[in-house]
Amino acid sequence: MYIPKGNILIEDVDLSNEDMREMQANLSNDGFTGYIKLDLENSSAYLFYDGGAVLQVLEVDSATGAINLQLEQRLMNRIKLDTIKCSSYVTSKRVVHVLMGLFAFQSLYLDYAIKQRDMPRILEKLRDGSYNGLMKLSTREGTCYLAIDHGEILRDRFCYNYGEILSGYDAVDHILNFEFDSEGATMSVYAERLEEIEAKRSAKEEELEKIKTLIVKSDGGFLRASDVVKVDNYIVREWNIADVKSTFTVEIETPDGSLYEYKCQAGAKFGDRAGIPPAMMKKLGVVEGDSISVRPL
């Protein structure tokens, strides 16, 4: 799904990892509200800010368009390129909170040839369902987006628009009342009821809580199995593995985003480190000190 742009601070600028992190620190210190977009190798990441704090991270798969919640630390561990293309967009707090629900939105209308007489019925449906989402309207004047917040089209008294998202009273009324040179418009609505968004968010966050970012530690030995990763006992208990002494399967994500499945066992005094035999480290393409993400399957 296409994510509309807010008011541009920077766009498609190549930044080093160090410069990107400095930009993030500056935006946080300045109380930034909006979002940062990072163009990765096979996806795009969106970090949503409110008052300088990162509220949520989404990742959009370039091939499928699928949108998933992501952990900021997990994402940053994967970004080790010399440069990365960055954009940052300013929006209002309400727009941020609408866009944060993108991972849960459904297509209520898709490329629907809408006439002026249809709009009151559609707006009533959005209000009655207390939807959050985006309405895309394409006319001969161009394409714009409206944000839907708690079933109402978002209107901002002091701002005409946030980039591609119309928000001012006059701008919103102009498009909703069909005050343009066209007999109609093409409309798409991507939205979901608030309670469904929150239920899906809770389920996703529960899954993400199982992901642990750990530092690779070389862990070999004569009697050490060469295909088993070891993590600390307390992590295995957090994962609610019934038998702490059992062998179970985990998914490992390396800094380049590659995914692997390996057997795992609990170990003592590993702390924030993952014990990996040298042969496995070679297969994973990691070295001691690298950060990896581990979750149980």
Give 182's pLDDT tier (boundaries 50, 70, 90).
low
| Residue keyed to tokens 């979901």 | 192
pLDDT per residue over 36-54, tens digit each? 999 988 889 999 999 999 9
- Examine the pLDDT at 183 and tell me if it is beyond 80: no
Beta strand 165-166 with 142-149 is parallel
User: What pLDDT score was predicted for residue 226?
Assistant: 83
Percent of the chain with pLDDT over 70: 98
Q: What is the pLDDT of residue 186?
A: 94
Task: Inform me whether the pLDDT recorded for 147 exceeds 90.
Answer: yes
For residue 228, list its beta bridge partners.
Answer: 263
pTM for the model: 0.82
Kindly report, residue by residue over 239-268, the tens digit of the pLDDT: 988 777 889 999 999 987 788 999 999 988
Among 1-15, 82-96, 222-236, the range scoring the smallest mean pLDDT is: 222-236
